[in-house]
Structure 1
Amino acid sequence: MGSTFAGLNTSFMGLTAARTAVDVAGQNVANANTTGYTRQRVSQSSVASVGKAGILEQPLPTAGGGVTVDAINRLGDKFLDARVRTALSNSGFHATRATAFSNIEKVLNEPSKDGLAAQLSKFWNSWQDLSNNAGKAAGASVVVEQAHVLGAQLADGYRAIDDQWGSTRGTVDAVTAELNNAGRQIAELNDQIRKQAAAGGSTNELVDRRNLLAEHVAETAGGVVVGRSDGGIDVLVGGNPLVSGADFNEVKAVGGTTLGSDVHLEWVKHPGLAIAMDGGELAAHLSLLKPANATGTGGALAESAEAYNRVATTLAATVNDVHRTGSTFEGVTGLDFFGFTPGAPAALGLNVIATGINDIAVGAAGAGNLDGSIADKISQLGVGNLSADGQWNAFVGSIAVTSQGELRQSDLADLSYGNASGAQKAQAGVDLDEESMNLISAQTAYQAAARAMTAMDELLDTLINKTGLVGR
């Protein structure tokens, strides 16, 4: 009788284990397309038979006590997860910079018939035409018109770069808010996981959610994830903890909102201490927002705006220097052709002082109204590396080289992420064919355990209710 009741218990344990396996397989199938979900498996072990001693000891072997469910394991790999986070950090950084440089190239619009280089060429050609027709007011009007078009092109380019800087600055605030939100949620999940594990519950789904948030932090701000003994994680950004267990440290974007401002991240609890970003989208945005410097290695946006200012300044200086040496039809000398609006950036403040033939020094003083030597000299000012044209071409070339480099880096980072993500999914992703086999196996085990339990029940019914009835 005792062994029969033990058999019922063994069958019941088999039913329970098989039912758990069916539930887990169903959970995997249901989440096959859930982002961040990691497949799970039931961990089982056999129960040893009860030992016997004394008068109960017997030499006959006895069967084990059935099966027990030890855990529902999450089949993730922390090393693959770390590889994905590193790849996301690099991908976020280079993709952001590649997009920004592509937008800068669109603003520069070089080479093209409508680019600044083409407008500079048209401007110098108008002076050459004027030198050949020194006495014609129409030629002077063309020079003035081309000068206005050139000034407008410089101003439009500068404004477009300024707008891109402002958009990037706004993005920094938005991404910083996302970073804080993700860090806050990770800290809350750390606390929930610790409590759930202490209560003996499953933390698999909570860990999946936390890992997805950790990946978002990596893509946003780089950082490093360090495991804790209580099942939580620490997330370090710039070497300092954004998340430490259940504690979260908020960050904020500091700096002005106008082109040329110095923008960086700081810890709210430690104002004045800039965070040294080591990857992710935020590091890329902040690198783009840096002010220009004397070596030309500042932020790409500020350096682009400075290139427009430099061209405007060089253009005005070189033209005015030659223009002052010439004479107008009325014999006036020492006149400037270009001027600047005080307090405005050079590219925005460049204006044309001359309005027509009477304001333009076409020839040399005393050479007569048909002399076009000064106009001819001005038409040659676009030649040379130090000219406005040379400076602009050098800058456009440097942007093109950097843009191509960032694009290649972005492609390589995407490839690295694709490989890392593929390896992670191969380990943690749900295979429907595999889950179908697991489900069939668990269902078969359930049916077998149920049949064994039915047999035990019928045997007990016969022993209990039919024994002693024979021969009555």
Structure 2
Amino acid sequence: MGSTFSGLNTALTSLYAQRRGLDVTGQNIANANTEGYTRQRVVMHAQNANLVPGVYATTDAIGGGVTVSSVERLRNTALDQRSYTEHANSAFHNERAGVYNLVEDVFGEPSDTALQARLQDMWDGWNDVGANPTMKAPKSALLEQATTVAASLNDAAAALNSQYTSTRGGLDTYVGDVNAAARSIAKLNQEIVVAHEAGLQANELMDQRGRQILKLSEMVGATATDLPNGAISVYIGSAQLVSEYNVREIEIKQPAATRLEDLPLLDVTLQWSDNDGVVHAGGTMGAQLETLGKNGILKTISNRLDTIATYLARDVNSLHESAYGLDGSSGLQFFVDGSAVPQTDSTINASNIAVNKDLLDDVDKVAVSSGNPTAPQSSGARILDGDLAFALSELDDAQDGADAEYRALIGELGVSAQSAIRRRDIQNAVTDQVDASRDAESGVNLDEEMTNLLTYQRGYEAASRVLTTIDSMLDQLINRTGLVGR
């Protein structure tokens, strides 16, 4: 038969257990809005009165009360792994769509002030010059329009280079952030393993580690694998970044390009610090590497822009050099390399194209006539026509000219940008669904916590009433038994 005093211990264990439940519920409520927090749940089990059950055990006691066996962290590992993957994909597509949006802003098409409209203004200017070959005003207007076209190409090239430089600087920052996060995870691994070996709870430390892994997944496409001792191994691709307490660092292979002009002689590659192996990054850094590489988005568009400038200079110069100006000059290039120190063998491209300064200084040198107006003629009449100016005005319809190349570039850019935005939106919707499932599993529901709070409160009150009742019984037994007849 169980002891009379055993009921006190049973009620006391209930008080301890219900209070622990109240503490954990309060912790959940306090962290309802804490990013990355995982709700916790008290796991209780009944204690056996026979601490060591055996064949000859004869006690018939009901039980030994209740004990808190653990405080569970309500986490779904499969959803965690899915979340890391989807967040990495979202970060990749967000960065990629952002790159295309910035490139579209560089060109600003369609617009009345964008390059396409300015090219058309220049071709119309040649038509006006052809109609009035002896007048200075149309030539001055033409030179201004051509200068605007050249400046638009220069500005677009500079904007692309600026975007490259800023993205390249961001990649350097992310490399440092990845290494710092990896070191933080390794440190948390060690603390969690020590806590587990000591029989202590490390739920909050595991939440911190989970936030760091999610951060790594977004930055570099990292994934994670749980280990039996409570630690986690983190991978980039199939290579380990964190192995329990050990960390491998990543770096940008040197020498590396820092400007568009450095490509393709130099490239931008991510490698492991210990063995120079290539890091197969995903997430934001994966998109940045795709943007910055020698065959990347920015270099490809920059090359197309240079092609437009080259075609423009080639077509205009070939006709202009064969024509004559009002002063009889001929053989002058209309577009030239406008670099501060032009190279003799340099190719005219988007960054250096400019209108010939000789023409800006003297508009009569603008070549528009098929014949030399200053040459002596047998009839005594000067040959001055605008045939070459009219021919130049028709270059906008050339199948292999600058306009056709530019329209093709803008069309392909629009398609690529639209595709990137659509993929981003689809991926973000998938990520939101995974996050919603993850939050339903591990997020704090205040209504549920309030219900638990009342449940533990009532349990604590009931255990207290049991203690009071047993105390009253013992008082009757000890202080009042045997007093009859005195």
Give the structure 1 partner of residue 311 of structure 2: 314
Letter in 2 for 1:197: H
Deviations along 1:366-406, one digit per CA (max 9) or x if unpaired, are 47443111111111112133100111111111111000001
Letter in 2 for 1:253: I
Give the structure 1 partner of residue 211 of structure 2: 212
Deviations along 1:109-158, one digit per CA (max 9) or x if unpaired, are 11111111111111111111111111112222222221211111111111
Instruction: Check whether the contact 2:133–2:386 (CA below 8 A) recurs between aligned residues.
Output: yes
Give how far 1:52 is off.
Answer: 7.8
Give how far 1:218 is off.
Answer: 0.8
Give the distance between the partners of 1:27 and 1:369, measured in 2 at CA. Answer: 95
Give how far 1:2 is off.
Answer: 5.3
After TM superposition, the structure 1 stretch with the greater mean CA deviation from structure 2, 454-463 or 201-210, is 454-463
Letter in 1 for 2:355: V
Give the distance between the partners of 1:187 and 1:332, measured in 2 at CA. Answer: 75
Which of 270, 274, 283 is the aligned partner of 1:269?
274
Letter in 2 for 1:336: Q
Give the structure 2 partner of residue 22 of structure 1: 22
- Paired-residue identity, %: 37
Does residue 1:6 correspond to 2:6, yes or no?
yes
After TM superposition, the structure 1 stretch with the greater mean CA deviation from structure 2, 324-333 or 433-442, is 324-333
Give how far 1:456 is off.
Answer: 2.0
Give how far 1:6 is off.
Answer: 1.5
Give the structure 1 partner of residue 322 of structure 2: 325
Give the distance between the partners of 1:458 and 1:384, measured in 2 at CA. Answer: 107
Give the distance between the partners of 1:26 and 1:276, measured in 2 at CA. Answer: 43
Which of 433, 447, 456 is the aligned partner of 1:433?
447
Give the structure 2 partner of residue 249 of structure 1: 248
Give how far 1:337 is off.
Answer: 1.5
After TM superposition, the structure 1 stretch with the greater mean CA deviation from structure 2, 153-162 or 174-183, is 174-183
Deviations along 1:179-208, one digit per CA (max 9) or x if unpaired, are 222111111111110001111110111111
SS of corresponding position for 2:4 = helix
TM-score (norm 2): 0.91
Give the structure 1 partner of residue 350 of structure 2: 347
Letter in 1 for 2:148: V
Give the direction of change, closer, same or farther, for the CA distance of 1:334–1:6 in structure 2 (3 Å limit).
Answer: same
After TM superposition, the structure 1 stretch with the greater mean CA deviation from structure 2, 251-260 or 233-242, is 251-260
Letter in 2 for 1:264: T
1:306-455 matches, within 5 Å, as: 306-340=303-337, 341=339, 342-343=342-343, 346-353=349-356, 354-355=359-360, 356-366=362-372, 368-455=382-469
Give the structure 2 partner of residue 47 of structure 1: 47
Instruction: Check whether the contact 1:333–1:365 (CA below 8 A) recurs between aligned residues.
Output: no
Give the distance between the partners of 1:270 and 1:441, measured in 2 at CA. Answer: 58
Give how far 1:93 is off.
Answer: 0.5
Instruction: Check whether the contact 2:371–2:383 (CA below 8 A) recurs between aligned residues.
Output: no
Give how far 1:330 is off.
Answer: 3.5
1:218-233 matches, within 5 Å, as: 218-233=217-232
Does residue 1:33 correspond to 2:33, yes or no?
yes
1:143-222 matches, within 5 Å, as: 143-222=142-221
Give how far 1:53 is off.
Answer: 6.6
Give the distance between the partners of 1:403 and 1:2, measured in 2 at CA. Answer: 78
Give the distance between the partners of 1:386 and 1:321, measured in 2 at CA. Answer: 14
Q: Gaps (5+ residues) in structure 2?
A: 374-381
Letter in 2 for 1:265: L
Instruction: Check whether the contact 2:43–2:70 (CA below 8 A) recurs between aligned residues.
Output: yes
Instruction: Check whether the contact 1:312–1:347 (CA below 8 A) recurs between aligned residues.
Output: yes
Give the distance between the partners of 1:129 and 1:269, measured in 2 at CA. Answer: 66
Letter in 2 for 1:167: S
Instruction: Check whether the contact 1:11–1:452 (CA below 8 A) recurs between aligned residues.
Output: yes
Letter in 2 for 1:4: T
Give the direction of change, closer, same or farther, for the CA distance of 1:371–1:53 in structure 2 (3 Å limit).
Answer: closer
Letter in 1 for 2:306: N
Instruction: Check whether the contact 1:339–1:351 (CA below 8 A) recurs between aligned residues.
Output: yes
Give the structure 2 partner of residue 295 of structure 1: none
Give the structure 2 partner of residue 458 of structure 1: 472
